[in-house]
Structure 1
Amino acid sequence: MKLLVSALETSSNIHLKELKKHLKDDVELFGVFDKELGNPLYDLSHLAIMGFVDAIKKLRFFFKLRDELVDLAKDCDKVLLMDSSGFNLPLAKKLKATYPDKEIIYYILPQAWAWKKGRVKKLEKYCTKLCSILPFEKDIYTKKEMISYVGHPLLDEIKEFKSEISKTNKIVYMPGSRKSEIINHMPIFKELSKKIKEKKHILIIPEKFDDDYIKKVYGDISSFEVSRDSHKELREAEFGFICSGTATLEAAIIGTPFVLSYIAKKIDYFIAIKLIKLPSIGLANIFFEKMGKKPIHKEFLQDEVTVDNLFNEYNSMNRNDYLKNSQILRDYLQGGSSQNVANIIQT
């Protein structure tokens, strides 16, 4: 089987890597994905964008990429779209118009429950099968036969969980994977590491970044120990300071206490708060709210992201309650999704 894949995000490719383990040997990937999974059209590291402004700057390139993928789909049996709705929904529309009978599978659905609910109709119109990773997501769709709750992929990728409060001396810092996130967080994280004494300060850096990029974007990181293995470090850490994103859910599933921080460009943040009506941005907190429970962790956004606020949360967080909530979260999300999605693709 020839499978056209559009997976532009780092997190999507982590899920794709796990999914590939469950696909038969004769399934060959084409399209956009991490180069360690095959021979993609483009190096994934060149595609990451952050926010509305960055997206506008790269519009011409992404129109070109969409057309290239549509051409490539001609010789593929099925299509797999993962996350990145700003690109993948228009791609799905053009694929459907060009190949009305080709099966289009969407895995890691757009967060239509949070904003832009009109995307639900588009997904139902352009796609064949929808693979949901959130238990409550199915409720907003009308064509129930199209959508399946497949479980959350992180429960495939994370094998070990904490059953007691960590007594290590490691503190983990995860400033994000996008350039603007890193630049915004690193000065604060550096000051914070000086304030928390007699600890090992572990800075998680994505594997895709080379030494030149690290020096340019992260600056002086001599006060940190660098690691590329986020799951290992989260398991061993007593606490984490984490930029909003998939990493916050990873920490919550593993059971590592942490505080979420997020600093966006002012115009991006202004647009986001006008469009997105949610009391929380952390996925674990959103899940708990859906269950009728209080947030599992603290969040600081924009000007609230200060050394003092993060340090005070480190000292005051109730770690026993957090550990109990982590187990509740794992039970809520159920099993991992890789095998289920592989079955859907190969059926």
Structure 2
Amino acid sequence: MKLLVSALEPSSNLHLASLMKHLEGKVELMGIFDSKLSTKPPLYTPDQFSVMGFLDVIERLGFFWRAKKEMAHLASEADKILLMDSSSFNIPLAKAIKKAFPSKEIIYYILPQVWAWKPWRAKAIEESCDFLAAILPFETACYQSKAEYVGHPLLDLLPPIRTSLPKEERIAFMPGSRKGEIGRLFPVFREVARRIEAPKTLVIPSIYEGASLEEIYGDLEGFELSYDAPKTLLESSFAFICSGTATLEAALLGIPLVLAYKARPLDYFIAKNLVKIEHIGLANIFETRRGEEPLHEELLQEGVNVEALLEAYWRCDKEHFVERAKALRGYLRKGSSLRVAQRILEIDSKVIFNDG
């Protein structure tokens, strides 16, 4: 089976790797994905789509248009299409493929957050796609009939939740994966680290292995360095984390944390006026959606300062956090890769019938 994949984000490719454990030897990948996931080279790799903020997107519109056109053409060779996250690229791509090849099955895994902004996209997604693999239990309510809750992909990657706090205090710092967010957050995190008497570990994204870390982070004195986020988090008693999936990862492992988010002023202004949600941390969104209080503190923009971060650290009831994290993990229940793999490998009943 030939599977056309559009996975533009590094996180999407982690989840695609989990999916491939169930699909190995059964599918041939085509399209946009990490080259390590296939012996055949992709059309494009995720790093070619790396952008930060609305201005970066505008500057590269021509490239995105050409890539979408090439992917739609490549769909002619595919048996099925798998879209992952990246709604600005994948929704127009789904429309183009469905228009050109109406019988091709399109599966959308890691759906756009229509519950947070642009809810009208739900109709367009359902018209262009055949199966919507929802990774949040409340997402299915946004659609008429094609959405199924399949579990959360992080639970395919993470070890079991930690049941107790470590005996010794150890702090993890995760200032993000993009150089821009690292440049805005890490100087503040560095000063926070100097004010805490405990071992400190800086988690560095694997994409920077072999790079000049001083050029990216600046002064690293006082930090142990790690490229293994789950291992570091499990060894830590608290974490300071840039907004993103890492905050949910920490919560699902039972690691108390504070979320910090500091964007360029224009990007923050645009996002604040477009996205209508009370919280930006996924764990907090889940908790408030099911009628609970937010799980952890969130500090945004000018609120991201040394004193505020330290106050959040000292204020945190760590044992209470661990108990609530267990309930959150139970809410999500399971991983999602097996169910999505099953859908990809399903053979249409008409084909079975015609084969006798």
2:223 match: 224
Letter in 2 for 1:150: V
Shift of 1:213: 5.5
Q: Which whole-Å CA distance do the structure 1 matches of 2:131 and 2:220 have between them?
A: 45
Structure 1, residues 106-132: CA drift from partner, whole Å, max 9, x if none? 000000001000110111111111000
Q: Which whole-Å CA distance do the structure 2 matches of 1:171 and 1:220 have between them?
A: 18
Letter in 2 for 1:59: L
Shift of 1:332: 0.5
1:45 match: 47
User: Partner of 2:207: helix, strand, or coil?
Assistant: coil
2:335 match: 336
Letter in 2 for 1:176: G
Contact between 1:296 and 1:325, CA under 8 Å: does it hold in 2?
yes
Letter in 2 for 1:112: V
1:233 match: 232
The structure 1 segments of at least 4 consecutive aligned residues displaced by more than 3 Å after TM superposition are 210-215
Aligned length: 344
**What is the CA RMSD across the aligned residues, in angstroms?**
1.2
Shift of 1:69: 1.2
Letter in 2 for 1:151: G
1:195 match: 195
Structure 1, residues 298-345: CA drift from partner, whole Å, max 9, x if none? 000000000111111111101121111101101100111010000011
Q: Which whole-Å CA distance do the structure 1 matches of 2:265 and 2:201 have between them?
A: 29
Q: Which whole-Å CA distance do the structure 2 matches of 1:334 and 1:13 have between them?
A: 22
Query: What are the equivalent positions in structure 2 for 1:205-284 lying under 5 Å apart?
Result: 205-212=204-211, 214-284=213-283
Structure 1, residues 150-186: CA drift from partner, whole Å, max 9, x if none? 0011111112211112223321111111221111111
TM-score (structure 2 length as normaliser): 0.94
2:350 match: none
Shift of 1:208: 1.5
Q: Say whether residues 1:126 and 2:97 are aligned partners.
A: no
Taking a change above 3 Å as real, the CA distance of residues 231 and 259 of structure 1, as seen in their structure-2 partners, is: same
User: Partner of 2:23: helix, strand, or coil?
Assistant: coil
After alignment, is 201-210 or 117-126 more displaced? 201-210
Shift of 1:245: 0.4
Q: Which whole-Å CA distance do the structure 1 matches of 2:99 and 2:195 have between them?
A: 57
Contact between 2:5 and 2:82, CA under 8 Å: does it hold in 1?
yes
Taking a change above 3 Å as real, the CA distance of residues 213 and 115 of structure 1, as seen in their structure-2 partners, is: farther
User: Partner of 2:74: helix, strand, or coil?
Assistant: helix
Q: Which whole-Å CA distance do the structure 2 matches of 1:32 and 1:224 have between them?
A: 36
1:62 match: 64
Q: Say whether residues 1:35 and 2:16 are aligned partners.
A: no
2:352 match: none
2:287 match: 288
Shift of 1:20: 0.7
After alignment, is 1-10 or 33-42 more displaced? 33-42
Contact between 2:8 and 2:32, CA under 8 Å: does it hold in 1?
yes
Shift of 1:149: 0.4
Q: Which whole-Å CA distance do the structure 2 matches of 1:49 and 1:20 have between them?
A: 26
2:102 match: 100
Shift of 1:10: 1.2
Letter in 2 for 1:208: I
Identity of aligned residues (%): 49
Q: Which whole-Å CA distance do the structure 2 matches of 1:281 and 1:212 have between them?
A: 30
Stretches of structure 2 that go unaligned for 5 or more consecutive residues are 347-356
Contact between 1:284 and 1:296, CA under 8 Å: does it hold in 2?
yes
Contact between 1:288 and 1:295, CA under 8 Å: does it hold in 2?
yes
1:326 match: 325
Contact between 1:45 and 1:208, CA under 8 Å: does it hold in 2?
no
1:151 match: 151
Contact between 1:203 and 1:226, CA under 8 Å: does it hold in 2?
yes
Q: Which whole-Å CA distance do the structure 2 matches of 1:267 and 1:65 have between them?
A: 27
Structure 1, residues 33-86: CA drift from partner, whole Å, max 9, x if none? 112112222332232212211111111111111112112221111110000101
Contact between 2:8 and 2:45, CA under 8 Å: does it hold in 1?
no
